[in-house]
Structures are given as structure tokens and as C-alpha cells.
Amino acid sequence: MTKPPKRRAPGSAPRLLKEKVKKKRGLKASSRRWIERQINDPYVHRARADGFRSRAAYKLIEIDDKHHLLAPGQRVVDLGAAPGGWCQVAARRTGSTDERPTVVGIDYLDMDPVPGAIILKKDFLDDDAPDKLIETLGGAPDVVLSDMAAPTTGHRRTDHLRTMHLVEIAADFALAVLKPGGHFLAKTFQGGTEGDLLERLKKGFRSVHHVKPPASREESVELYLLAKDFKGRDGNRE
């Protein structure tokens, strides 16, 4: 007797058939595995269907759906914005438009324009970058986002330290410019955020913890450091 096909639960995503990439001369095994992962990744397929530039957009969407960072009318800074997925999400959720942009992204990599966002082609580590961001934004941000990660060297400890350096610089920026009640979200890696950074954030924000959205691959060591509800500071920039 033939068994009836299993029914898919309402609202669940269809399961993709796994595709294999044939071995080719000159194609490294690591490159072949990356290609296979991309073509079999449901988030990659969703990003294409939804018009997002990268699957990383869903990391921000999932974090925001749960923790409520973005709201209409907010000013948002996106550090390490390329290729633009987070700027797209931020612009859509804040209602930022080309006529009245409230989202500014920065990256030293080339990027296509993002509707509703201003993109600065500049290294955030440049001395004048923080002031340029606030000048372009037109005031203090409600949210600072950072998906920055240092280019990998292949040495895990070195890569971790270099990315943590970027997290610390992004956190310093957030503490210096955020409006009271604002939020900070930054990519970090498993292995621990440095204790002194956590202490500074806990003094500055009412809630600080790590999150890992479903869109972040299980095998990935990335986490996101989420600091909510900035307490403010003396001489706050309005």
C-alpha cells in the first residue's frame, strides 16, 4: 500500500532539495562547500524573493521582531553597512525615505544606493568618521547598529581579537552619541565579550545580553551583543 505524502505544516517553509556542486579542477574544497551552502540556504532564497541584498537582513529582522529596536521616525546609524541588507531593513522599519532620510550607513566598500538611506563610503576607523555620521544624520541616533567584522586571517584567536576591537570602537561611538533610551546592537564572536566592555555597557544601558537569531547559522561562532535603553550622559547631544 502506498503511503500518502506528508503534509507540510501551514506557514512553514518548503524544504529545499540539497544540491551538490561538482568537483572542478582549480576549485578549492572550501569554495565548493561555500557554494553548496549558499545554494541550499533557505535564507538566501528568501532574500532574493524579498528583495534583500543578503541573508544577514533576516538576522536584524528576527532580532527586531523579538526585542523591538526599530520604530517609525527613528534615526539609525549602520556601521559596516555593505552590502546594504541592514540599511534596507532599518529604512523600511523606520519609514525613512529619500526625501527625509533617517538612516545613515558607512563602509569603505563600494555599495549600490539603498532607498531611504544615505551611504557614506568611508572607513569608520577614520578620525573624522563619527562627526561625519552625526552631521549627515542631522542629530543624535536612536539606534546604532554594527555588523562589522575584521577580514579573516585564518587564525581564530587573531580574528576574534580584531573583531572585538571593532566592537569596542562601535560601543564607544554608541555611548558617545546615542539619545537616552536608545539601543546598540553589534556583532561579536563566541569566546566572550571583554569584561571591561560589558561593564561599561551595563553602566550605560538598562539591559545588556547576547543574542543569536535563527538566521545565524548554527555552526557559526557569531553572536550579537544587544544593549537596550541607554541611560544618557552629561552633555548629551540632541
At residue 185, φ and ψ (nearest 5 deg) are -135, 125
36 domain-assigned: no
- Catalytic residue annotation: 187
Beta strand 205-211 pairing with 117-121:
unpaired
Q: Which three cell numbers stand for residue 144?
A: 546604532
95 domain-assigned: yes
- In total, how many domains does the chain have? 1
Query: Domain holding 145: CATH number?
Result: 3.40.50.150
CB-based contact 59:215 (threshold 8 Å) = yes
Element (H, E) at 146: strand 143-146
At residue 57, φ and ψ (nearest 5 deg) are -55, -35
Q: What is the DSSP string of 100-114?
A: S--EEEEESS-----
Report the pLDDT value the prediction gives residue 134, as an integer from 0 to 100.
Answer: 97
* Domain span holding position 170: 54-230
Report the pLDDT value the prediction gives residue 193, as an integer from 0 to 100.
Answer: 58
217 domain-assigned: yes
160 domain-assigned: yes
- Does pTM top 0.85 for this prediction? no
Report the pLDDT value the prediction gives residue 28, as an integer from 0 to 100.
Answer: 56
Q: What is the pLDDT along the chain (238 residues), one digit of tens a residue?
A: 444 434 333 334 444 445 554 455 554 555 445 444 555 556 777 778 777 888 899 999 999 999 999 999 999 999 999 999 999 999 999 999 999 999 999 999 999 999 999 999 999 999 999 999 999 999 999 999 999 987 766 777 777 788 889 999 999 999 999 999 999 999 988 765 568 899 999 999 999 999 999 988 777 778 999 999 999 976 344 4
129 domain-assigned: yes
Name the CA radius of gyration of the chain, rounded. Answer: 20
Report the pLDDT value the prediction gives residue 49, as an integer from 0 to 100.
Answer: 74
